Structure 1
Amino acid sequence: MSDQGAIETMALPEIQQIIPEVGEIPTPAVLEQAIVQATPEAENAPSWFGQVVKRVSDAWFEPKSFEQNPEVYEKLGVRTYKKYVPTSGDLVRRLVWKRFGDESWVKGNVDSLKSMERFTRIYEGIHATFLGVGVATMAAQLQAGQIEGAAFTAGLNTLVNVYPIMTQRYNRSRLYRTIHKMEERQQNSNQPPKPQS
């Protein structure tokens, strides 16, 4: 057995203990815990490395000033795309996932929204990685003179990676605003009432 196979075999039982039985939809917190426990070597990295990774990822994932207004992504068709995504679009959620316990994904509290925000980062990172693979494939096709193949790859990459990235950024911007409002409301409710004059 190769070293890679041994690592995969060792991590599999740990992940299976954390993730619920087949048929249940794992929550973002459960998936995050499974990822952390399956990669214990990440905890042994130098502290400065973790700080650099956090700063870079925060700089990349935090909504930019132009993203504060959701109309930017709405004009690009993100809401329409979001409605018809085959795995988690609004239509699929309404018709399929609600019947299988999807209500466990997001609750109406700040912690749940922060968990969902972290998962928008993960989903965006996955799609950004595959976007890079798609761009490299397209470049190779162009270099080989396969114009039709490159055009097909560009279209597919747009649907499968660019729009999902924009959707995650759109969702994260909305989550940031909602989290901020909820924390502000919570902070205001914890302050003593102002004396009347």
Structure 2
Amino acid sequence: MNKYFKFSFIILFVVCTILTVALWQGLYSFIFAWVLNFMLMMGVAYIIQILKPILSSTYFNAKEWENEGKTYKWFGIHGFRKILVWIGWEKLNKASNPVKRNLDALKYLEYNTRQSEFGHLIIFFIVLAFTIVVIIYYGFQQSLWLIILNILLNVYPIGVQRYNRPRLQKAINKFKKFSVVTNN
């Protein structure tokens, strides 16, 4: 199948599913918020795999305020990571992307953190737009499911990627230094 046809089909499928659930359950229901997030995750992940963006922006570099992950620890990223292990997400992720101890595997894993963060960032802003619409038309209280799920399903995963990436970059740099030392 042509990649543009696949691209168009996935967008159409995601939009139709979201519209169907919105009409069936309303924009402020838990089911709508859940389906919106997961359909966007599926669609964005698929589109990112088709387009394979370079993602070399300085945005993806660790910032000084991130303070080697201390900021993320304070916001509970470790607890969120434990929840991911508890529900089996990490096991699923490791099965599809096993961690190998070589430079190419680490670079690939580091790039995957960029892809994941980029995808969750796109989804975050789309869900935020829906949240603003719901707040305007139905009130703040009706938008709580959208807000809660946006934080749990997008903000925390972004934090996990931003926490993990510097560690992967350190490992990559160690491999590079080690290979330079052993090659000399």
Residue of structure 1 equivalent to 2:71: 72
Which protein has the larger Cα radius of gyration, Structure 1 or Structure 2? 1
CA distance in 1, matches of 2:123, 2:89: 24
CA distance in 1, matches of 2:167, 2:97: 20
* Greater RCO, 1 or 2 (C-alpha within 8 Å, sep 6+): 2
Residue of structure 1 equivalent to 2:5: 7
Residue of structure 1 equivalent to 2:107: 114
* Identical counterparts, % of pairs: 25
> In the alignment, which of 149, 171, 181 is matched to residue 156 of structure 1?
149
SS of residue paired to 2:161? helix
Q: Which of 112-121 and 177-186 deviates more?
A: 177-186
Given residue 133 of structure 1, which amino acid in structure 2 is its aligned partner? I
Given residue 77 of structure 1, which amino acid in structure 2 is its aligned partner? G
Structure having the higher helix fraction is: 2
SS of residue paired to 2:62? coil
CA distance in 2, matches of 1:57, 1:172: 13
Q: Which runs of 5+ in 2 are unaligned?
A: 10-44
Change (3 A) 1:142 1:6: closer
SS of residue paired to 2:88? helix
> In the alignment, which of 161, 166, 183 is matched to residue 173 of structure 1?
166
SS of residue paired to 1:69? helix
Matched, 1:82 2:81: yes
> In the alignment, which of 129, 147, 161 is matched to residue 136 of structure 1?
129
Matched, 1:92 2:91: no
CA deviations on 1:147-194 (whole Å, 9 max, x unpaired) are 212222111110010000111111111111111122122222333xxx
* TM-score normalised per structure 1: 0.62
CA distance in 2, matches of 1:167, 1:186: 29
Residue of structure 1 equivalent to 2:57: 58
CA deviations on 1:20-64 (whole Å, 9 max, x unpaired) are xxxxxxxxxxx99x94xx55xx9xxxxxxxxxx85x742111222
**RMSD over aligned Cα, in angstroms?**
3.6
CA distance in 1, matches of 2:68, 2:3: 47
CA distance in 2, matches of 1:103, 1:140: 37
1:73 deviates by 1.1
SS of residue paired to 1:70? helix
Change (3 A) 1:66 1:180: farther
Change (3 A) 1:190 1:119: same
Number of residue pairs aligned between Structure 1 and Structure 2: 148
Confirm or deny: 8 A CA contact 1:113 1:175 kept in the other structure.
Answer: yes
Change (3 A) 1:6 1:60: closer
